[in-house]
Amino acid sequence: QSQEFSQAHIDYHVALQALQEHGTHMVCTGKMHTDRICRFDYLCYCSEADEFIFFHSNSSVMLPNLGSRRFQPALLDLSSVEDHNTQYFNFLELPAAALKFMPKPVFVPDVTLIFNRFNPDNLMHVFHDDLLPVFYTMKQYSDLDDEARLVFMEGWGEGPHFDLYRLLSSKQPLLKEQLRNFGKLMCFTKSYIGLSKMTTWYQYGFVQPQGPKANILVSGNEIRQFARSLMEKMNITTVEEAEKDGGSAENEKEKDKKDDYVVVFSRSTTRLILNEAELIMALAQELQMRVVTVSLEEQSFPSIVQVISGASILVSMHGAQLITSLFLPRGATVVELFPFAVNPEQYTPYKTLASLPGMDLHYISWRNMKEENTITHPDRPWEQGGIVHLEKEEQERILASKDVPRHLCCRNPEWLFRIYQDTLVDIPSLLEVLLEARKTKANFKKSKPASTVHPGRVREPQCQTSVQTRNEAKLTVSWQIPWNLKYLKVREVKYEVWIQEQGENTYMPYILPQQNYTFSENIKPFTTYLVWVRCIFNKNLLGPFADVLMCKT
């Protein structure tokens, strides 16, 4: 495969002259290295030095201009994993005049997005750390379109999921090792460096034990739009789309019912379900549904997504393959199985995903509570959970423990030992949680997306007061509906009123169905009250408070 950018598409001399005269131009977003993405004109990469180079000239721009704070600790994170010290980006500086003494640059004509994949061998990491962040970083900058070039700087090979990265743009992504093929000095005409972290929901436990991110900024809507776009590119059609394309609703309902099926996502090398055949039989019998198995070892990824996108229930051991639950239809159920001594509450990337607002998935976990049903692998290498390399005492402690204590990523031997166990799934206890969930959720059927339209402020809030007696007073508060309500069909509209006596630090909250109310309890004469009013749709969609009212009795 020849690796050359046709230098004919760009006027080489114009480009070289621009670089020599204007140097590099950088403007970034973000206050901190952790939320920064930078856009460059004429950023260069020297493969010999393995460094990006910023050329200074009289007209070069570097914003933010941090001086040496650029190294404290870095200009930005190259991956979507926050503040990881193996993922820092910086460039080297040179005067543009130095170009005279350097190899002739090769110009990259494409708009380029440069970043690190975090762990391209692991499907969960591929989606959570790379595909989703790249997809939405590209949405953020309109010139990062289907023609954009992706450059992976982490230095790994293509990896097992390279085809998924290829769906993000029509151009072949470049690996770091390939950059040297273009010559000693490569200059990116237009490039972006860094990834948006807006879509990530999980932190892997580098500084505190793993768990959901503190401030999740993504909803099921964005995840599902990403999933739909990927499915389109994989030429997968969903049942919902097939319905749109014809067939009476009645027929489709009928078909839907017959087609309700369970997917068991199986792993064939580690963390096995030892009685998978028995499990499949039991599920089919108890749920009266077809059961299909899929595995990454046996099927193409698109064919797995095709199956999952129509499933009612997805059953799988904890593991990266569960990220495919983002392709489940709304209303489906994720059943995550955990090996002995592993607490489901402490490892929740898939629970958090399923629970994102608007994801509309049900989530159930099951944990092997019977030690006799677990098969351990103490003799394996440490990264597959082996413990024979540890001191005898430590081995014994781990073997005696029935619960892995909270720990940091990524080499805790007790955690690895337990998470790589194989499990004989106790069918009755699994069926019990499944049937219980079915009862409480009423049904496992596909549901319509819930509305996410929030109320506007209530308008023209007013208060009127009157003094009744020496220690009795009345406070009447009234307001108009939010402006957007007249265009909406809302199941339930309520108002919340907060009343606070000036100078006090507590308030009384009231929920009201109507647009005015006269308060008399706890209202004192000759007192100033602060009153806030907001609208609430369907119990949980809160609007903003109107400006505070000052009401004197």
Among the listed ranges 80-88, 119-127, 391-399, 432-440, the one in contact with ligand UDP (CB under 6 A) is 119-127
Q: Which of 314, 320, 499, 523 binds ligand UDP (CB under 6 A)?
A: 320
Min dist CB 234 to ligand UDP, Å, is: 18
Min dist CB 20 to ligand UDP, Å, is: 47
Residue count, binding to ligand UDP (CB under 6 A): 12
Does 122 contact ligand UDP by CB under 6 A?
Answer: yes
CB nearer ligand UDP, residue 76 or residue 123: 123
CB nearer ligand UDP, residue 152 or residue 265: 265
Distances (CA, A) of 80 to 36, 116, 119, 175, 319: 11, 8, 11, 18, 20
Q: With residue 277 as reference, give the H or E element that holds it.
A: helix 276-287
3-state secondary structure of 237: coil
- Compose the 480-519 pattern: x for residues touching ligand UDP by CB under 6 A, - for all others: ----------------------------------------
Q: Are 112 and 186 in contact (CB under 8 A)?
A: no
CB nearer ligand UDP, residue 182 or residue 363: 363
- Compose the 268-297 pattern: x for residues touching ligand UDP by CB under 6 A, - for all others: xxx-------------------------xx
Q: With residue 313 as reference, give the H or E element that holds it.
A: strand 313-317
How many C-beta atoms surround the C-beta of residue 471 within 10 A?
A: 9
How many C-beta atoms surround the C-beta of residue 374 within 10 A?
A: 17
CB nearer ligand UDP, residue 318 or residue 457: 318
CB nearer ligand UDP, residue 123 or residue 195: 123
Among the listed ranges 90-98, 207-215, 318-326, 394-402, the one in contact with ligand UDP (CB under 6 A) is 318-326
Min dist CB 369 to ligand UDP, Å, is: 21
What tokens does 43 get? 């950023």
State yes or no: cis peptide before 64, omega within 30 of 0.
yes
Among the listed ranges 82-90, 267-275, 409-417, 480-488, the one in contact with ligand UDP (CB under 6 A) is 267-275
What tokens does 346 get? 């402490």
3-state secondary structure of 44: strand
Show the 3-state SS of 390-457: CCHHHHHHHHHCCCCCCCCCCCCHHHHHHHCCEECCCHHHHHHHHHHHHHHCCCCCCCCCCCCCCCCC
| CA atoms lying within 13 Å on the CB side of residue 369 | 6
| DSSP category for residue 131 | I
3-state secondary structure of 282: helix
What tokens does 283 get? 């599920």
Q: Are 262 and 287 in contact (CB under 8 A)?
A: yes
Min dist CB 83 to ligand UDP, Å, is: 22
CB nearer ligand UDP, residue 25 or residue 418: 418
CB nearer ligand UDP, residue 39 or residue 367: 367
In angstroms, the first-to-last Cα distance of the chain is: 83
Min dist CB 123 to ligand UDP, Å, is: 4
Give the type of residue at 102: M
Q: Are 474 and 525 in contact (CB under 8 A)?
A: no
CB nearer ligand UDP, residue 361 or residue 416: 416
| CA atoms lying within 13 Å on the CB side of residue 500 | 13
CB nearer ligand UDP, residue 226 or residue 415: 415
CB nearer ligand UDP, residue 250 or residue 297: 297
Min dist CB 201 to ligand UDP, Å, is: 15
Q: What DSSP letter does each residue of 72-129 carry, written as one string?
A: SS-SEESSSSTT-TTSEE-EEEEEGGGGGGSPPPEEEEEEEEEE--S-TTSHHHIIII
3-state secondary structure of 305: helix
Min dist CB 335 to ligand UDP, Å, is: 16
Min dist CB 136 to ligand UDP, Å, is: 22
Among the listed ranges 55-63, 266-274, 278-286, 499-507, the one in contact with ligand UDP (CB under 6 A) is 266-274
Q: Which of 321, 333, 421, 423 binds ligand UDP (CB under 6 A)?
A: 321
CB nearer ligand UDP, residue 115 or residue 350: 350
| CA atoms lying within 13 Å on the CB side of residue 382 | 8
- In whole angstroms, give the CA distance from residue 75 to residue 134: 19
Q: Which of 314, 286, 293, 291 is nearest to 428 (CA)?
A: 286
Min dist CB 269 to ligand UDP, Å, is: 4
Pair type for strands 61-63 and 549-552: unpaired
Does 267 contact ligand UDP by CB under 6 A?
Answer: yes
Q: Are 366 and 429 in contact (CB under 8 A)?
A: yes
Min dist CB 268 to ligand UDP, Å, is: 5
Min dist CB 323 to ligand UDP, Å, is: 8
Does 124 contact ligand UDP by CB under 6 A?
Answer: yes
CB nearer ligand UDP, residue 321 or residue 376: 321
CB nearer ligand UDP, residue 222 or residue 422: 422
Among the listed ranges 121-129, 180-188, 204-212, 542-550, the one in contact with ligand UDP (CB under 6 A) is 121-129
Min dist CB 270 to ligand UDP, Å, is: 5
- Within 379-438, which residues bind ligand UDP (CB under 6 A)? none
Task: Detail the DSSP E strand segments found in 195-307.
Answer: 202-203, 211-212, 261-265, 290-294
Does 528 contact ligand UDP by CB under 6 A?
Answer: no
Does 319 contact ligand UDP by CB under 6 A?
Answer: yes
Contact residues for ligand UDP, defined by CB under 6 A: 122-124, 267-270, 296-297, 319-321
